[in-house]
Structure 1
Amino acid sequence: MTRLIVAAGGGGDAVAAAVLDAALYGGSGEPAVILTYAWDRLLVDPLPGPRGPDSFTGLAPLTRGVWTVPASARPIAPAGSTLPRLASELPHTFALLDPRHGAAGITHQLDALVRHLRPKSIDLLDVGGDILAKGDEPTLRSPLADALTLASCYQLDRSIRLLIAGPGLDGEIPAVDLADRMGPPILTLTADHIEPISAVLEWHPSEATGMLAATARGARGLCEVRDAGLPVPLTDQSPGLHEADLHQALQRNELARALLPTETLGQAEQRSRAICGYSEIDYERNKANWLNSQPNRKPDPTRTLHCLDEFQEEARHRGITHTTFRRITEALGIVGKQRQTLRKLLISHRPNQYEAPLWRISPGA
């Protein structure tokens, strides 16, 4: 028997699931199976929305309707995915969560997977806590993936524990607003908990999991994230892991309740538009069109460092102490594969400002 961890939003939640597995269950049997979306947003995948099994070669069948993503799997161009590399660097099995058939389809996948694995525990993990949203919060940006997994897990006739890591770190629901929606911390992550994924953090683009790791290592301050430059506090509470009531979360989350009967991703999008006023995949579609129109030029070191200095000076006036590489690339207009080129350039020229995996606005000693 093994354990099953459902990464609620895909992307960085899958990396955080590996941390959770080691922190809570380390040394008790084989590594967990992590069920996750292949949904890396536009930082890795130029195509909007999540990827299904038909977007990969080399997947391995696990059970009815569920495929694993081994290290040898490859996304079919132009699609992109971090999952094969995660599978090559972490000991966990990554199973593909496919939302193309809505919440009903995910529930069928979960049921088949649980019947096959007979796991001794099932955890649903969300980094940041927007899975605990009501749906009308003005700061909410990407509720669809989490609401789909919440609705699907609710319909599964099994005991599932809902866990929130790093409350507020996704920049969507402030930590103070989440305090009465979850219990006290069951664990506070430390640098030792982060060590198993330290190599992954050097390339994985997740902002929320990156901040979770940074705060576990001791980073404190105000971190600016995303293209909009949202300020996210890094506090002593940030590396906390909390348990929340799954049934209460569904009763609070209007979007998740509306998604319960959905049988297609299109239906799920329509309900998101009706309740939240938007679909995050629409945002990705619009941004993908814009990114495709931008030149993919290699950053000029001198000009780039000058623009960085200007950005940092403005950030200091906003009270910002840290930022993410995603935020820097957005602010400096760097797109596509040149994002990694920029990252290497900055670290090589300003190593004292690299507080892995974040960028510190003011250099260290």
Structure 2
Amino acid sequence: MSTLFVAAGGGGDALGVLLARRVLEPEMDDGDVFVSTCAWERLRIDPVPGPRSRGDFIGLRLVDGVRAEISTTTDTLPPGRSVLPRLAGDVDARLFLHDLADGAVGLAEQLQHLARALGADSLTVVDVGGDVVARGDEPGLLSPLADSLTLAAALRSGLPVRLAVVGPGVDGELPAEQVIAILGGLGGTQVGTLGTADVDRVGDSLGWHPTEATTLAAAAARGLRGAVEMRRGQTPVPVSEASATVWRLDAVVTYDFPLAEALINTRSLGSAETIIRGITTVDELDYERRRARERREIPSRTVTAADIANASLARGASHITTRRLLEATSGDVPSYETARFDGLGLWALEALARG
């Protein structure tokens, strides 16, 4: 059975697919790997809150008459930006763009078209961290919209759907034990563990890509153990053996995923956002809108990497992501490599604290 991989939340999950590809589909040749993703970048990369649509890109290649495939010559219309064209040039797989503008109904049609054009007879939705299994009332939940909308569209497509979770808990939302318990209760199984060879295959991309969750899964595969300070300065995220595991649910039933079920008939991103806002206490689009206003209105502070490192150490963290470091210091990333963990976007706090 050939499959179209669908990144649940965006470019970080797309890189997560490629990190876990050997575990998920060990018999698949690299050139046969198809990954569809939305473009939703952090504000430091794309100053416009929310995901981009296909119409925000130029240079997408035609797939059966529809502009959908990302290449190194693909670009975004100003003021938007995306790292996806660079990723397309780094990896030995084909990357495709889908968008969330027309809700689950429109996205389901996009996935149907892509699968048919590529000869794929199933969809494998991949989420790094596992917040896609959230019920909606979890206190650590930060970004349910894209994941749940993507899963809803996959289920609406009429194609067989599998769900894969790479690195339970590494997104800093639901704890690993909770993700694993939910997956196990639904019949999911651990299908493998990431190894250093998996990281080596995408190591160049992990060196520059802003993803935090996929970086933590890769770091766990390379032996990192500890706790990592991540976006928004939440409680440091534990990195353990479980952080390098890959889980899969082969029978995905709509009613087992209440957030996706609530979104399955949506026809716009706005209506999906309204529904999520009514079910949960978080809305990542509202958060981005607020942060975008703050970036314009609040003067930048002078905070050094050493300042952040000492504060993070006091909170029990051992490492910090590049994204969090940039977020907290307004761009003060150390130029030296001695603090960096194995070429990834992680920094040892004790080394940073010494300056």
Q: TM-score, normalised on structure 2? A: 0.91
Instruction: State the one-letter code of the partner of 1:257.
Output: E
Change (3 A) 1:120 1:157: closer
Distance in 2 between residues matched to 1:148 and 1:311, nearest whole Å: 35
1:314 correspondence with 2:319: no
Q: Which residue of 2 aligns with 1:351?
A: 338
Where do 5+ consecutive residues of structure 2 fail to align? Answer: none
1:33/1:66 CA distance change after superposition, 3 Å: farther
Specify the code of the residue in structure 2 equivalent to 1:267.
S
Deviations 1:290-342 (A, max 9, x none): 12335689xxxxx86xx32232222222211111011112222x1xxxx4xx3
Alignment of 1:196 onto 2:193: no
Q: Which residue of structure 2 aligns with residue 208 of structure 1?
A: 213
In 2, Cα distance between the equivalents of 1:319 and 1:260? 40
State the match for 1:241 in structure 2: 246
Alignment check: 8 A CA contact 1:66 1:95 kept: no
- The corresponding residue for 2:349 is 361
**Secondary structure of the corresponding residue to residue 362 of structure 1:** helix
> Residues 66-85 of structure 1 correspond to what in structure 2 (within 5 A)?
67-85=68-86
The answer on whether the counterparts of 2:24 and 2:191 sit within 8 Å (CA) in structure 1 is no
Aligned AA for 1:195? D
Residue 180 of structure 2: aligned partner = 179
Aligned to 1:290: 294
**2-structure distance, mates of 1:15, 1:280:** 21
Once the two structures are TM-superposed, the CA of residue 23 in structure 1 deviates from its matched residue by: 4.1
Q: Indicate the residue corresponding to 1:268 in structure 2.
A: 272
- The amino acid that maps onto 1:312 is A
Length, aligned pairs only: 346
Could you tell me which residue of structure 2 aligns to residue 223 of structure 1? 228
Tell me the residue number matched to 1:25.
Answer: 25
Q: What letter corresponds to residue 255 of structure 1 in structure 2?
A: L
In structure 1, the residue matched to 2:60 is 59
CA contact (8 A) 2:133 2:179 kept: yes
Contact kept, 8 Å, 1:61 with 1:68, in 2: the verdict is yes
Matches within 5 A, 1:146-157: 146-157=147-158
Report the CA distance between 1:25 and its aligned residue.
Answer: 3.5
Pair 1:167–1:111, CA change in 2 (3 A): same
Q: Alpha-carbon deviation of 1:121?
A: 4.9
Distance 2:34 2:260 in 1: 24
Q: Which amino acid aligns with 2:11?
A: G
Q: Secondary structure of the residue that 2:63 maps to in structure 1?
A: strand
Checking the alignment, whether the CA contact within 8 Å between 2:60 and 2:67 is kept in structure 1 is no
Report the Cα distance in structure 2 between the residues aligned to 1:359 and 1:57, rounded to whole angstroms. 35
The answer on whether the counterparts of 2:115 and 2:122 sit within 8 Å (CA) in structure 1 is no
- Kept in 2, the 8 Å contact 1:166–1:241? The answer is yes
Equivalent residue number for residue 166 of structure 1: 167
Q: Distance in 2 between matches of 1:239 and 1:156?
A: 30
* Structure 1 range deviating more: 278-287 or 259-268: 278-287
Dislocated runs of 4+, deviation >6 Å: none
Identical aligned residues as a percent? 37
What amino acid sits opposite 2:319 in the alignment? Answer: H
Query: What is the distance in 1 between the residues matched to 2:154 and 2:91?
Result: 25
Which consecutive residues of structure 1, in runs of 5 or more, have no partner in the other structure? 298-302
More displaced, 206-215 or 238-247?
238-247
Aligned partners of 2:5 and 2:34 also within 8 Å: yes
d(CA) in 1 for partners of 2:244, 2:204 = 19
Q: What is the one-letter code of the residue matched to 1:359?
A: W
Find the residue that maps to 2:232 and give its secondary structure: coil
Please state whether the residue corresponding to 1:28 is helix, strand or coil.
Answer: coil
2:283 counterpart of 1:279: yes
Separation in 1 of the partners of 2:251 and 2:351?
42
How far apart are residue 80 of structure 1 and its match?
Answer: 0.6
C-alpha change, 1:130 and 1:239, in structure 2 (3 Å) is: same
